[in-house]
Structure 1
Amino acid sequence: MTENKFEFPKEMRAMAEASFDQARQAFEKFVSSAHSAAATIETRGESARASAKDVSAKAISYAEQNVAASLDHAQKLLQAKDLGDVMRLQSEYVQNQMKSLAEQASEMGQIVSRAAMEAAQPKS
């Protein structure tokens, strides 16, 4: 009896894994930077504490969005009909996540810059 197993070609699997690894690394770097920035800002006084809370809240919001996107992607993969579907879904997911992570990093950079400028202003 022959099993009819669906298997990815090694090259396709390697490409998908590399894309996933890149997305994961970008997200981990983003989260690490956000935590570092929040920790640094928290040490700068009362006004900085409010900014640190904003940074932390935004980082948590991004994490929630990214986990939700990953879960949605996994659900779509489970419904894929063939390898073409899988590859299309994976490509769309990676492109969307890279765009999302770039937007999140930019927005987080703006928040951190604003917080740093506020912390650097002399108290009157």
Structure 2
Amino acid sequence: MTTNKPGFEIPDQMRDFADKSVDQARKAFDDFMGATHKAVTNVEDSANAMQAGAADVNKKALTFAEEQVNSAFEFAQELVKAGTVEDMMKLQQDYMRKQMETLGEQAREVSNTATKTVQDAAKGFSQT
């Protein structure tokens, strides 16, 4: 004797609801992953901007150091050729004035470069 047990049937409304729920979950996940990819890209872009800016500042600093050393050697050569103490004092005064002007220009240049670097890096974060 065989008994046929009727199978459990899932109502169509339940299937539709489950199907919509899966679709909504898939869409939510896809949206989340899209936002995550965008955020990662923005962070990478910001990091690249900061790295490029830091490299630029380093190059400027190296160039400035080289200019300062060359200026010091030129000053030393002029100082050796000075005939009197007054000439030496005048050379020292001119050298110090020129060094202060140069230092001011270099500080502005480094400041401008650093500001631009921060602004470029911030652009990546503001695009999220």
Q: Could you say whether these structures have the same fold, taking a TM-score greater than 0.5 normalized by the shorter chain as the test?
A: yes
Identity of aligned residues (%): 33
Q: Deviations over 1:4-29 (max 9, x none)?
A: xxxxxxxxxxxxxxxxxxxxxxxxxx
- Residue number in structure 2 paired with 1:63: 65
Per the TM alignment, residue 51 of structure 1 is displaced from its structure 2 partner at its CA by 1.0
Flag as ranges the 4+ runs of structure 1 deviating above 4 A: none
Give ranges in structure 2 of 5+ residues lacking alignment.
Answer: 1-45
Matched to 2:101, the amino acid is K
RMSD: 1.2
Number of residue pairs the alignment of both structures matches: 81
Correspondences of 1:91-106 after superposition (within 5 Å): 91-106=93-108
Aligned partner letter, 2:78: K
Deviations 1:100-123 (A, max 9, x none): 000000111000000011111126
TM-score, length of structure 2 as denominator length? 0.60
| Greater relative CO, 1 or 2 (CA 8 Å, sep 6+) | 2
- Give 1:58 deviation, angstroms: 0.4
Q: Which runs of 5+ in 1 are unaligned?
A: 1-43
TM-score computed with the length of structure 1 as normaliser: 0.62
1:47, 1:89 → 2: CA distance? 43
Rg larger in 1 or in 2? 2
Counterpart Cα distance in 1 of 2:120 and 2:91: 43
